Structure 1
Amino acid sequence: MSFSTKTVKTTPFLDQRPGTSGLRKKVRVFMTQNYTENFVQSIFTALPKPGPVGATVVVGGDGRYYMKNAIQTIIKIGLANGVKKLIVGQDGIFSTPALSNIIRKHSADGGGIILTASHNPGGIDNDFGIKYNVSNGGPAPEHVTEDIFEASKTISEYKIAQIPDIDLSVIGTTKFGDSEVQVIDSVEEYIKMVKEIFDFPLIKTFLKKFPDFTLLFDALNGVTGHYGKRIFIDELNLPLNSIDQCEPLEDFGGGHPDPNLTYAHKLVENVEKRGVDLGAASDGDGDRNMIMSKDWFVTPSDSVAVIADYAIAVIPYFKKTGLKGLARSMPTSAAIDRVATHHNVKVYEVPTGWKFFGNLMDAGMLSICGEESFGTGSDHIREKDGLWAVLAWLNIIAHQSLESNKLVSVRDIMHKHFNTYGRNYFSRYDYEEVDSESASKMYSALKSSCVGNLIGRSFSEDKYTIVAADDFEYTDPVDKSVSKNQGIRIIFEDGSRIVVRLSGTGSSGATIRFYYEMFEDHTEKLMMDTQEALKPFIEIALEITKLVEYTGRKEPTVIT
């Protein structure tokens, strides 16, 4: 069918600067007249060359409140701006990694638009987000997000196609003149991808040989519920009680879809109560993960190090490609650095943000990477991938158990890893919704101390001495771009670190994040309690930053 285009006069909103993870605001802000339309039009106005005319764009989201409304708006504005093909997930559903895969597989030159606020709560009174990914499948680089912001500041009109809403529940293609909207099964293509990466026949053999092995995957009522059911129940034939909270809900069931020990408390309780061998959770849009068992919690820093260590020997994808390089975000512990040294590959320390990994991947310099914020992934796509990490662990457990002819536990794998490489004790303390002005004052004072009186100071009766302190700066080895002000690093003589960052991912207030890391290679000290091991550095951080004096916050919101 043909369609007409309407031009609507509008005025700019001056708060539409997207961050690393897109534009995030409260749902009611996006519901303001023309707010969503303005930002979507700004995306198409700023679309990288060759622009929207004739382009293919992928669209979907994590199922949260207002997603379906936003998708209809994107379709109509996209068509009005000359987009030739829009690929949309059935019911609007697309996990972030699955959308990245479709962009790459379908050579979507217009990239993709993801409707998500990641791990933030959903519902009409909570958060919504619109994120643009470029044609390599990864998050838009800063120069693109700046172009979008500039367009949003000067917008005076938007164009919108006069068509009825698309029925997103029905798989199929609807033609509009020379353009079309294709609704696809977003889960099917993702399953095809992971079956090419991991050794599913080996995993099935393992599950038959060790029928007492238990797995529990909790989607936290986020987008990966559909994916988890199809993989663990339909493909691997695990019992139905191997999945929980796998129905995507607009408000995530009233919970906080963030896979950590605080917000994934139901998984933690069930794993302990049922004695689960491999417990895992994912976040709202499916790009984060948490790995644990009845007898161990795996930090994200340790998780990516273990996956990298076993990759070539265990995972078919890496048996073919080899390890081109490893990487971590700056706040993430250096556990993966030791694996890189062992395997004789280069390791990169980058700022927080998956786009930095994407540059290295596109240049053929990186295979596996991770962030301490529960993000793990590889060069199979250009986003972190929660279910990929879960399947990697299942593949490793299956291989090790079949090789040793006994069920190998998560704790066994971690103990062996620590004995080989030593242990980087690591923890992150999040202080959420802190008064923004107080947080900024604290951070500014700490930054001044880095170039002032921190270096040379000793603590705990001269046991720990600061030898370096700076605000992390990164020069990208691929495009030579420079990223400054990426977080304050305080480094001690023994290599231990305290890192402090201000986060802008929340829709209100500020989040202060403290990262603590201590390396230990004495055999008798490898299995200590993490918080007890890090206690001296936690006390030092509070003394140096004067957090309580500036913010009044005595306890973190979340400890991971």
Structure 2
Amino acid sequence: MKINPLIFRAYDIRGIYKKDIDESIFKKIGFVLGKKNQKFLVGHDIRKSGRKLAMALIEGLVTTGSRVFFCGKSSFGLCFFSGFKLKVDKTLFVTASHLPKEWNGLKINYGDGEPVSSKEIEKIRDKVLKIEKKEIKFKKPKFKKVNLKREYFETLLEKFPLLKEKKLKIVLDCGNGATSLVAPQIFKKFGFEVIELFCQPDSNFPNRNPEPTFEATRFLRERVLKEKADFGVAFDGDGDRGVIIDDKGRYLSGNQIGIILGRDILKETKNKKVVRTVSCSMAIDEELKRYGSKIIEVPVGHTFVISAVKRKKAILGIEESSHIVLPRYFLFDDAILIPLRIAEILIKEKKKLSKIVDKIKIYPFEEIIFGCPDEKKFEVVKSLAKKFKKEYKNVNTLDGVKVIFNFGWILIRASNTSPKIRLYIEAKNEGRLKFLKEKFSDILGDWIAKNSNQT
């Protein structure tokens, strides 16, 4: 298979299995990543191609003399916890996260959980392309099989002792993804009354989209109301994102989750550094500054959030898409931590989640996704940035192009993982939101069409 350089994205490696990626490419990726006597932990999510790609990756690694641990089929959190406990040099997780079943890919993190940088992925890409036609005699996969599930469970139980004080009722929607392997057991061990929804692993994701969007959580929202649960949680395909549904059946955004967690953590610590992405709500700054927060803004992407949390020694990292980093527990963004911390807050405050949500300021916000070919999307955004700098006073190009008004803002940025351009809009009221949405949707749509028609 000819290697498509576009599978090497800003945060990870992703493509459609047997179209963009296959075992031959993963052998070469393993060969490039490997180094004599370095230790690697390899795992995979529940996708059909996961084990085959993991074995190919291991072939490449052992050919270089690397030592490999293999945790097999795993959730995101369990895989990176295993690498952390084993003190490996890198943890490699074969997954396509929230993308459809046809996709697969690779997440590459250092042993402590920090993802490799986009520059590092570019170096990996260049090295793989350099050996694309080179004949390499790969060794058979050799590894030590490990299972640290018990240690993972015990660590979580130790970190959240308060949760045993009250039996909460939770609806758990694993979306037939990788968290099905661990989440029901974890919450039952804490003594929760657990109502399971789509908690059987199924690589076809038959019941909902592996990305837990508002539409995808319809059954969960209905079930939370029907069961009169304290709250519900829906995980994405691999378990690095979790969205919360409150007791009134409301879907909470990453901004709202970030504010709830941030207020609680800021009350407990003298360290006030909070990392958030450029796409996060202005409400985060307003709400958390009441507790003395020092906001650090970074580009969109969990890689940038985690790296900044580590570098700046921050107490919390927030991404609007519900990637949440809680370094008090782990540096990697294990979504299992989100509902556990939410439950802890409910017990401490002795309040319903809806009462806490009602107290949070939140502004009208919308995200609109436009399809755009991978080879065109960055050029479209670059052209718009040039145009907007001439037309508006307050333009931020930290990531994509953000135009800031006194009543709100818009952000246009190319997705680093999919052939899409995202338009984010936030305003102080619905009227202003509608104005910004109509104006910039038309502009973006026209520019995508214009660029797509060019050869």
TM-score by length of 1: 0.73
Question: Which residue of 1 is the match for residue 97 of structure 2?
Answer: 118
Which stretch of structure 1 is more off in the superposition, 12-21 or 93-102?
Answer: 12-21
Amino acid aligned to 2:45: D
Question: Which residue of 2 is the match for residue 218 of structure 1?
Answer: 173
RMSD, aligned α-carbons: 2.6
Q: Does 1:206 align with 2:170?
A: no
Question: Which residue of 2 is the match for residue 53 of structure 1?
Answer: 36
Q: Does 1:305 align with 2:276?
A: no
- 1:452 is paired with a residue of what secondary structure? helix
> Would you identify which runs of 4 or more consecutive aligned residues in structure 1 move more than 4 Å?
30-33, 435-442
Q: Does 1:262 align with 2:215?
A: yes
Q: From 181, 187, 202, give the equivalent of 2:144.
A: 181
Asked if 1 retains the 8 angstrom alpha-carbon contact of 2:413 and 2:422, the reply is yes
- Rounded to whole Å, the distance in 1 between the matches of 2:433 and 2:257 is 23
Please give the residue correspondences for 1:455-470 in structure 2 after superposition, counting only pairs within 5 Å: 455=393, 468-470=394-396
Displacement of 1:56 in angstroms is 1.3
Question: Which residue of 2 is the match for residue 537 of structure 1?
Answer: 433
Asked if 2 retains the 8 angstrom alpha-carbon contact of 1:228 and 1:243, the reply is no
Q: From 48, 65, 70, give the equivalent of 1:88.
A: 70
TM-score by length of 2: 0.89
Name which one, 1 or 2, has greater alpha-carbon Rg.
1
- Rounded to whole Å, the distance in 2 between the matches of 1:32 and 1:149 is 15
Amino acid aligned to 1:386: A
Q: Does 1:411 align with 2:354?
A: yes
Displacement of 1:340 in angstroms is 4.2
Question: Which residue of 2 is the match for residue 369 of structure 1?
Answer: 317
Q: From 54, 69, 72, give the equivalent of 2:52.
A: 69
- Rounded to whole Å, the distance in 1 between the matches of 2:374 and 2:38 is 41
Could you tell me the percent identity over the aligned residues? 21
Question: Which residue of 2 is the match for residue 349 of structure 1?
Answer: 297
Amino acid aligned to 2:308: L
Please give the residue correspondences for 1:234-245 in structure 2 after superposition, counting only pairs within 5 Å: 235-240=189-194, 242-245=195-198
- 1:424 is paired with a residue of what secondary structure? coil
Q: Deviations over 1:447-475 (max 9, x none)?
A: 233211234xxxxxxxxxxxx12322xxx
Q: Does 1:285 align with 2:238?
A: yes
Q: From 397, 410, 413, give the equivalent of 1:471.
A: 397
- Rounded to whole Å, the distance in 1 between the matches of 2:392 and 2:284 is 28
- Rounded to whole Å, the distance in 2 between the matches of 1:83 and 1:438 is 38
Question: Which residue of 2 is the match for residue 22 of structure 1?
Answer: 12
Displacement of 1:82 in angstroms is 0.8
Amino acid aligned to 1:54: N
- 1:263 is paired with a residue of what secondary structure? helix
Asked if 2 retains the 8 angstrom alpha-carbon contact of 1:61 and 1:285, the reply is no
Question: Which residue of 2 is the match for residue 145 of structure 1?
Answer: 121
Please give the residue correspondences for 1:486-497 in structure 2 after superposition, counting only pairs within 5 Å: 486-494=399-407, 496-497=408-409
Question: Which residue of 2 is the match for residue 433 of structure 1?
Answer: 371
Displacement of 1:292 in angstroms is 1.2
- 2:191 is paired with a residue of what secondary structure? coil
Asked if 2 retains the 8 angstrom alpha-carbon contact of 1:218 and 1:243, the reply is yes
Displacement of 1:302 in angstroms is 1.5
- Rounded to whole Å, the distance in 2 between the matches of 1:181 and 1:437 is 40
- 1:252 is paired with a residue of what secondary structure? coil
- Rounded to whole Å, the distance in 2 between the matches of 1:361 and 1:491 is 25
Q: How many residues align?
A: 444
Sort the Cα spacing of 1:537 and 1:437 in 2 relative to 1 into closer, same or farther, 3 A. Answer: farther
- 2:165 is paired with a residue of what secondary structure? helix
Asked if 1 retains the 8 angstrom alpha-carbon contact of 2:425 and 2:436, the reply is no
Asked if 1 retains the 8 angstrom alpha-carbon contact of 2:30 and 2:59, the reply is no
Q: Deviations over 1:316-337 (max 9, x none)?
A: xxx5x75352111110113332
Sort the Cα spacing of 1:441 and 1:512 in 2 relative to 1 into closer, same or farther, 3 A. Answer: same
Question: Which residue of 1 is the match for residue 273 of structure 2?
Answer: 325
- Rounded to whole Å, the distance in 2 between the matches of 1:58 and 1:432 is 37
Sort the Cα spacing of 1:117 and 1:198 in 2 relative to 1 into closer, same or farther, 3 A. Answer: same
Displacement of 1:60 in angstroms is 0.9
- Rounded to whole Å, the distance in 1 between the matches of 2:119 and 2:36 is 21
Question: Which residue of 2 is the match for residue 513 of structure 1?
Answer: 422
Amino acid aligned to 1:143: K
- 2:337 is paired with a residue of what secondary structure? helix
Asked if 2 retains the 8 angstrom alpha-carbon contact of 1:326 and 1:348, the reply is yes
Question: Which residue of 2 is the match for residue 447 of structure 1?
Answer: 385
Question: Which residue of 2 is the match for residue 107 of structure 1?
Answer: 87
- Rounded to whole Å, the distance in 1 between the matches of 2:200 and 2:281 is 34
Stretches of structure 1 lacking an aligned partner (at least 5 in a row): 1-10, 45-51, 164-175, 208-212, 314-318, 402-407, 456-467, 473-485, 520-532, 553-560
Asked if 2 retains the 8 angstrom alpha-carbon contact of 1:367 and 1:378, the reply is yes
Q: Deviations over 1:293-345 (max 9, x none)?
A: 242332111111111111265xxxxx5x7535211111011333235423334
